[in-house]
Amino acid sequence: MSDPLPRPPITLLVFSASLRAGSLNTRLAELAAVTVEANGGEVDRGSMREFDVPSFDQDVLDRDGFPAGAVEFRAQLERCDGFVIAAPEYNASMPGLLKNAVDWVSRYRPQPFNEKYGLLLSASPSMVGGNRGLWALRVPFEHLGARIYPDMFSLAQAHTAFTDEGRIADPRLQERFDTNIVNFMNAVEASKHYPCAKRAWVEYLGERPEPATDRVE
Ligand SMILES: Cc1cc2nc3c(=O)[nH]c(=O)nc-3n(C[C@H](O)[C@H](O)[C@H](O)COP(=O)(O)O)c2cc1C
């Protein structure tokens, strides 16, 4: 069989929403990054440290403008065709620091998450792998018009799930992870390079370009 055609270029911003040095989500984000690269994509590795911002305050925005973390987050989003986030679950929801950073960036116009493709991952020592946090995270992203990929990946018992090389020890789970990443990459590629597929996605969501409902607010 001949080699598959090279993938047309796509760039994904990949980051973990944990600041912790030994973060399980940072390990999962790195596995996502190397998997994207192994499948012909380019990766911008972001970090929550760069995107760190003070608590959102409209008065600060009006007086001082955007804080450095929001400037950086927006700039990295603008450079990419899609994003992959590995986010911890805190108290059955998303981490406050990530929501706070999203709130800041959502005040830019044009609003950078609109029509951006996103894939959500999580890792947790628990049996459900932080999956409730991802469902919570979908809500603000979808509100902002991000195309959040339907399949999400949550790594349960993550404190024992990785090999020393940073892969997932269970081969079936590792295969499922790879498939999830590649399927997401295919969706991003289609959106960027084959506009007819993008139109099909928008119509699938029941949305048509319409100034009155464009997600600018
Ligand atoms: C404030 C807080 C709340 C947490 N709530 C949950 C939770 O609801 N569900 C869960 O699975 N783990 C929860 N955990 C445990 C985290 O999943 C665990 O600390 C995980 O390792 C954090 O991700 P990280 O390793 O990427 O930093 C919580 C941890 C903290 C610090």
**Of all protein residues, whose CA lies closest to atom 3 belonging to ligand 1?**
90
Looking from the CA of residue 28, the nearest atom of ligand 1 is 26
The Cα–Cα gap between 120 and 112 comes to 17
Share of the chain above pLDDT 90, in %: 85
**Of all protein residues, whose CA lies closest to atom 20 belonging to ligand 1?**
124
**Reported pTM:** 0.91
Q: In the prediction, which pLDDT does 197 show?
A: 67
Q: HSE-up of 34 (CA within 13 Å, CB side)? A: 10
| Residue the block writes with tokens 């403008």 | 65
Ligand 1 proximity of 23 Cβ (cutoff 6 Å): yes
Q: What is the mean pLDDT of the chain?
A: 92
Q: In the prediction, which pLDDT does 7 show?
A: 85
CA 34 to ligand 1 center in whole angstroms: 24
Looking from the CA of residue 88, the nearest atom of ligand 1 is 23
Ligand 1 proximity of 96 Cβ (cutoff 6 Å): no
CA 56 to ligand 1 center in whole angstroms: 23
Average pLDDT estimate for 94-102 = 98
Average pLDDT estimate for 125-134 = 98
The Cα–Cα gap between 102 and 144 comes to 10
- Model confidence at 206, pLDDT cuts 50, 70, 90, reads low
Residue 143 above 60 pLDDT? yes
- DSSP letters along 89-137, please? -BTTB--HHHHHHHHHHTTSSS-TTTT-EEEEEEE-SSSSTTHHHHHHH
Looking from the CA of residue 17, the nearest atom of ligand 1 is 26
Ligand 1 proximity of 143 Cβ (cutoff 6 Å): no
Average pLDDT estimate for 134-146 = 97
Q: In the prediction, which pLDDT does 194 show?
A: 87
CA 36 to ligand 1 center in whole angstroms: 26
Convert the pLDDT of each residue in 112-127 to its tens digit: 999 999 999 999 999 9
CA 137 to ligand 1 center in whole angstroms: 15
Convert the pLDDT of each residue in 164-199 to its tens digit: 999 999 999 999 999 999 999 999 999 999 877 666
- Model confidence at 217, pLDDT cuts 50, 70, 90, reads very low
- Model confidence at 216, pLDDT cuts 50, 70, 90, reads very low
CA 197 to ligand 1 center in whole angstroms: 37
CA 18 to ligand 1 center in whole angstroms: 10
The Cα–Cα gap between 39 and 36 comes to 5
Q: HSE-up of 198 (CA within 13 Å, CB side)? A: 14
CA 23 to ligand 1 center in whole angstroms: 10
